[in-house]
Amino acid sequence: MITTAAMIDQLYDLRAKADLTRVNRDDLKAKIMGDELIKTLKEVDDEFQSELDRIQSQAATIESQIKDEVLLARESIEGQHLRAKFNPGGAMVTAKDVRELADKYSVSLPIVAAQMRGLITQKKASVIIEAIKK
C-alpha cells in the first residue's frame, strides 16, 4: 500500500507535469506561423487538453485520498515538496451568540448550558495541501 507521504509526492509530480504540459503547449503555439493560425491553435489546444484533463483527474483523485488519510490520521503529513496540513476544527462563537446568551442569562444554569451548546457552531476538521517552504 502506498503511504500518504508518497501520495503527496505523487500529487506534486502530477501538478509539475501539468505545468510542463501547459508550457510545452504554449511553446508550440508560439512557433506556429501561417494562414491557418486560429485553426492550428485550436488543434494544438485539443491535442494537449486530453492529457491535461487526465493529469488533473489523477491529481484530484490523489488529493482526495490524501485528505481522507490526513483526516483519519488527524495529523499533518509532509512529502518532499508538499504538506497536507491538518486543521482539527473546533467550536466557534460569535459576538452575537455571546450577546444572545447574556440576554438569556437569567434562566437557570442547565438551560443556559443547553442554550450555549445550541449557539456554538462546530467547525469541521479540514486539510489544506500547501507547498513546503525551504
Helix, strand and coil content of the chain, in percent to the nearest 5, comes to 65, 15, 20
Tens of pLDDT, residue by residue over 105-114, are 655 565 666 5
The pLDDT tens digits for 35-90 are: 567 678 888 899 999 999 999 999 999 999 999 999 999 999 999 999 999 998 87
Tell me the per-residue pLDDT of 17-34, one tens digit each, with 9 for 90 and over: 999 999 998 888 777 765
pTM for the structure as a whole: 0.58
Q: Using alpha carbons only, give the angle 121, 127, 133 rounded to the nearest 5 degrees.
A: 130
Which class for 48: exposed (0-12), middle (13-18), buried (19 or more C-beta within 10 A)? middle
